[in-house]
Amino acid sequence: MTISAPPKSQLVDQFARRISYLRLSVTDRCDLRCAYCMPEKMTFLPRKDVLSLEELHDMALGFIARGITKIRLTGGEPLVRRDMMELVTALGRKLEDGLEELTMTTNATRLAEFADGLAAAGIRRINVSLDTLDRETFARLARRDSLPQVLEGIAAAKAAGLKVKINTVALKGINEGGIADLIAWAHGQHFDITLIEVMPLGEVDEDRFDHYLPLMAVREQLEQQWTLTPSDHRTGGPARYFDVAETGGRLGLITPLTNNFCDGCNRIRVTATGQLYACLGGNEQVDLRAALRSADPQAALDEGLDLAMRIKPARHNFAIDAHGQAPALARHMSMTGG
Ligand code: SAM
Ligand code: SF4
């Protein structure tokens, strides 16, 4: 007779928020160098510090056992990690066995190669980051002339049956003039699109606030040409949605610096080195790599998750001061995972 282990307790934080969504960064490396995300000469982590495929897999299973039902794989650029498809395939096997959704955020440079494999593994939706449709602006912003590959990757994803959502960082003086065109293009392809304000995460080569563009201003500009109606659509994330009458599509706006979206937060993040961050905008952290490399990884992982629930803060502490400045958190988005 086999005695099955009792079900483990779910992850609920001190503010009674049930945590069901894990964003897992599988690498801090990337083939682009988006100016708001990382410096041109970014120093990447030594490979030995990054979790192995087995560690990532074991950790993800540990999270699923504690009630995580959605995992988003991110980075850095997840598709530059060599053994990425092995992880996707392994986690795909947990779909309908605890895991309800497996997704990915990608810059799409390598999506043409991997779209079919992602769909075959059970991924249904992906987020693609695309800030402009103008090749020169792309090359300047991403510091790589990769727009053609990105568009090819997006087309391949669509052809593979993946539902694509476009994410766009709105940047004053860089892509702001092309945002309406980008929205119209996305809606023409039947993609949702979400705009996001630039956040103060890690040092980059320039002052991000030279390019900080409040989405209120973007919305006002768009409303001069389109009818934006607030929508009831919710994804459990921080975006607020609008239906655009003229394009027939949906537009999301994420305003981390000017709005507090923390009350309904259901997520935690883990870096490629196994550091759990309880909040994107805070420093509360648990070392899960140490747990995974300990004598009793299962128990240590559970203890780490319990600790994370105790330290998850009520809200992020991104804040703009009287001078319109926000103090940068030391880590880059490519480390914590977007
Ligand atoms: N490389 C993949 C990509 O670009 O989709 C996944 C990782 S990337 C860090 C995830 C998201 O974070 C991207 O949509 C990117 O635009 C966004 N991002 C990076 N740095 C940011 C920042 N400082 N403020 C706001 N968004 C940022
Ligand atoms: Fe790479 Fe994504 Fe950061 Fe751009 S935003 S540099 S694609 S990790």
Phi, psi of 29 (to 5 degrees): -80, 155
Q: Tell me what pLDDT residue 205 has.
A: 79
Q: Measured from the CB, is residue 146 less than 6 Å from ligand 2? A: no
Instruction: Give the nearest ligand 1 atom to 106 CA.
Output: 5
Start-to-end Cα distance in the chain: 45
**Half-sphere exposure for 129 (CA within 13 Å, toward CB):** 26
Q: Residue 281 has what pLDDT?
A: 77
Q: What's the count of helices (H) and strands (E) in the chain, helices before strands?
A: 10, 12
Residues 115, 62: Cα–Cα separation, whole Å: 27
Ligand nearest to the CA of 38: 2
The whole-number pLDDT of residue 292 equals 96
Question: Is there a contact between 333 and 23 (Cβ–Cβ < 8 Å)?
Answer: no
- CB of 334 within 6 A of ligand 2: the answer is yes
How many angstroms separate the Cα of 9 from the Cα of each of 60, 64, 186, 199?
Answer: 16, 11, 41, 34
The pick from 31, 34, 40 for probing ligand 2's pocket by mutation, whose C-beta has the most ligand atoms within 8 angstroms, reads 34
For the chain, 338 residues long, give each residue's pLDDT as a single digit of tens: 455 566 679 999 999 999 999 999 999 999 999 999 999 999 999 999 999 999 999 999 999 999 999 999 999 999 999 999 999 999 999 998 999 999 999 999 999 999 999 999 999 999 999 999 999 999 999 999 999 999 999 999 999 999 999 999 999 999 999 999 999 999 999 999 999 998 877 788 777 778 889 999 999 999 999 999 999 988 777 889 999 999 999 999 998 765 566 888 899 999 999 999 988 878 889 999 999 999 999 999 999 999 999 999 888 776 544 444 555 566 777 666 66
User: How far is residue 73's CA from residue 91's CA, in Å, rounded to a whole number?
Assistant: 10
CB atoms within 10 A of CB 169: 25
Ligand 2 touching residue 326 (CB < 6 A)? no
Which of 31, 41, 77 has the most ligand 2 atoms within 8 A of CB, as the residue to mutate? 77
| Protein residue with least CA distance to atom 4, ligand 2 | 34
Q: Which atom of ligand 2 is nearest to the CA of 33?
A: 6
pLDDT of residue 280: 80
**CB of 276 sitting under 6 A from ligand 2:** no
Q: Give the predicted TM-score (pTM) of the model.
A: 0.92
6 alpha carbon to ligand 1 midpoint, in Å?
A: 39
* pLDDT computed for residue 288 by the predictor: 97
Beta strands in the chain (DSSP E): 21-25, 70-74, 101-106, 125-129, 163-170, 192-197, 228-230, 240-244, 249-254, 267-270, 275-277, 285-287
pLDDT score at 320: 46
Delineate the domains of the chain, giving CATH numbers in brackets: 21-336 (3.20.20.70)
Ligand 1 centroid–CA 8 distance in Å is 33
